[in-house]
Structure 1
C-alpha cells in the first residue's frame, strides 16, 4: 500500500500484524489490503487525515460512497468487516478509545445456497477411464476431495508425510493454521495407493503428494482446470469445481447422519452457523419429497 499519510501508515502496521502475529493466509491479507486501500482513498476524499477523528457518521458516509461506487452488498459487508477489524486493532493499540464502526449495520446480501452434485452424478464423475498416470492422479484427487470434504488449498498442500494410509487418515492445515486429522475412506485410500505407486515416475521436486506433469506441486489453477474437464468428459450436468465436491460431501454426510456437529468438525468450520447452511439444503430435499408424496401437499387436485 502506497502513501505517506497517517492513514496509510496505520494500515501498514495493521497488515504487518495480520501477517506476523495473526499469520493469516496470503489471500486473506490481500483482501484486507485491498479493502483498506479503498477506504483510505475514500477517507482522503472526505478530508479525513487521522483515524482518531473518525466517528460513526464518517463510517456511514464511507459505506454510502462505496455503495454509490457500485459495491454490491456482499462486497460492502466485507469492506465494513475489514474496517471494523482494523479499528478494533487501533483500540487495542491505544490509538482509539472506541470503535466507531461497531454499531454500523452491515447490508444483508442475498443468501445463495451452495450447489452440490447428487450421489449418482458423483459416482458418474468418479468412473474415470484410467488410461494414463495423470488420470490416476486426478481420480485420487477427486476421491480424497469428496471423501474428506477438503478445501482446495488443503488438497494441494498435502505432503506424503501427512498421509497415514494404514489407518485411513490425512492431516491437513486449514484456515487460520488450524490442523485437522480426517478419515478418508477405503476407496480414497485405494486410489491414493495407485497414484503413489506412479508418483516417482514424475521425478518429484518436493514432498507434495499431488504433482504436475513437471514433477512440481500441482497448482490450484491446474486442479480447477482438470476437475472441470473431467466433469465435461463424464457428462456431469453442472460445472464441476473443487468447492462443489466439498459442498457435496457436506450435504451427503448431513443427509445420511443428521449430525451437524460432526460435519462441522470434518469441514473445519470455526462456527456452527457456517455449517448450518447445509441444513437448508437438506430441508429443500425433504420438502421436495414431501410435496411429491404427501396427499395433503399435492396442489391443484381436488
Structure 2
C-alpha cells in the first residue's frame, strides 16, 4: 500500500505540472488534503480506504465546527478531484466524495436600520447652505424609507403623470404610482412627512431646469419630466442616488453606510414590527410571492429577541445559576 503522504505529493505534482494550476490553488489543495489525511488518521484508515460514510461524517464535523457551506464545498471539490485521480491511477474503485454535497449556506438576512437610526437619517439636514440640494436629497430619503420604493422605481418617477410616464407622485391623493419588477404597476401610500418633503422639493426643483428657447424644443427633452434631477436638469441615475444616500448617512453619524435598498428593508421591517400584517407588506413592496416577504419576519424576530435580552429579568441568567 502506498503511503498517504506520498500519494498526496504525487497528486500535487500532477495538478502543478500536468494540469498547470496556479501555485495558490496547489497550496489550497495541499491544505485540504492534509485535513483529509488528519480525519482519516483519526479513524485509522488509509486515504485509499476512505468510504462515503467517512466523508459525510467529516462534513458534519466541519459544519458543526462553524465552517461555512461555501468553505466546505471548496474542500469537497479538492477532495473529489483527488479521488478522481486515484481512480485513474487504479488505486480506488469508487469516489467516496462523489455524491456528497456541502450544507446549503444560510441566506443572509437583509440589513435594516434600527428605528432610531432611520429617523435620525430622515431628520438630518446635510446641505443647509444649499437649499435646492438639501430639499432633493431629503425627499429621496423620505420616499425610500417612507414608501419602501426600489431605487429603480424612484429614478423612474416623473414630476407629474403624463403619457409614457413610468411612475409619478399624486400629492393630492398622497400616493406614489410606480413601475416595479416584471413591469408590474402598483400604488403605495405616501406619508405626511414624505409629502412635506416632496412639496418642498417640487417648489425648488425647476430652478435647475435649462430655459427653453422660443420656437425650439426644451433642452433636456423628456429628461425634464423626471421628479429627481441633477444640476443639469437630467434624471438622476441609480448610482447617483446610492452615492447621495451613502454620503448623507455618513454625515448623519450613522455607524453603517446606508444604501437605498437598506431603507426599503427598514421600511418593511419597521412596518411589520408595528402591524404584523405580512400580506399588506407584501402588497406595499410589490412582491409576487409571500415567501419573499417572509424574510422580514425573521428580522422582526431578531428585534424581539434583542428586546427580550435587554429587558427581561430571566434573559441574563448568570452561568453560576445554570449549574
Shared fold (TM-score, shorter chain, > 0.5): yes
Which residues of 2 match residues 95-110 of structure 1 at below 5 A?
Answer: 108-110=104-106
Instruction: Note the alpha carbon deviations across 1:210-264, whole angstroms, 9 max, x for none.
Output: 0011110001111011111111111011111000000000000000000000000
Q: Hey, what does 1:24 align to over in structure 2?
A: none
**In 2: Cα distance, 1:134 partner to 1:115 partner:** 27
Q: Hey, what does 1:163 align to over in structure 2?
A: 169
Q: Hey, what does 1:239 align to over in structure 2?
A: 257
Q: Hey, what does 1:139 align to over in structure 2?
A: 138
**In 2: Cα distance, 1:217 partner to 1:153 partner:** 12
Structure 2 unmatched ranges of 5 or more: 1-68, 74-100, 162-167, 211-219
Which residues of 2 match residues 18-97 of structure 1 at below 5 A?
Answer: none
**In 1: Cα distance, 2:314 partner to 2:252 partner:** 40
**In 2: Cα distance, 1:123 partner to 1:291 partner:** 23
Q: Hey, what does 2:111 align to over in structure 1?
A: 115
What is the root-mean-square deviation in Å for CA atoms of aligned residues?
A: 2.1
In structure 2, relative to structure 1, the CA distance for the partners of 1:135 and 1:106 (3 Å cut) is: farther
Q: Which moved more, 1:148-157 or 1:114-123?
A: 114-123
Task: Establish whether residue 249 from structure 1 lines up as the match of residue 247 from structure 2.
Answer: no
Deviation at 1:295, TM superposition (A): 3.7
In structure 2, relative to structure 1, the CA distance for the partners of 1:273 and 1:183 (3 Å cut) is: same
Deviation at 1:107, TM superposition (A): 7.8
Deviation at 1:192, TM superposition (A): 0.7
Give structure 1 regions of 4+ aligned residues with deviation exceeding 4 angstroms: none
In structure 2, relative to structure 1, the CA distance for the partners of 1:108 and 1:170 (3 Å cut) is: same
Which residues of 2 match residues 202-217 of structure 1 at below 5 A?
Answer: 202-203=208-209, 205=220, 206=223, 207-217=225-235
Q: State the aligned residue count.
A: 201
Secondary structure at 1:117 match in 2: coil
Secondary structure at 2:157 match in 1: coil
TM-score normalized by the length of structure 2: 0.59
1:193 to 172, 195, 199: 199
Structure 1 unmatched ranges of 5 or more: 1-71, 77-104
Larger radius of gyration: 2
1:128 to 125, 130, 139: 125
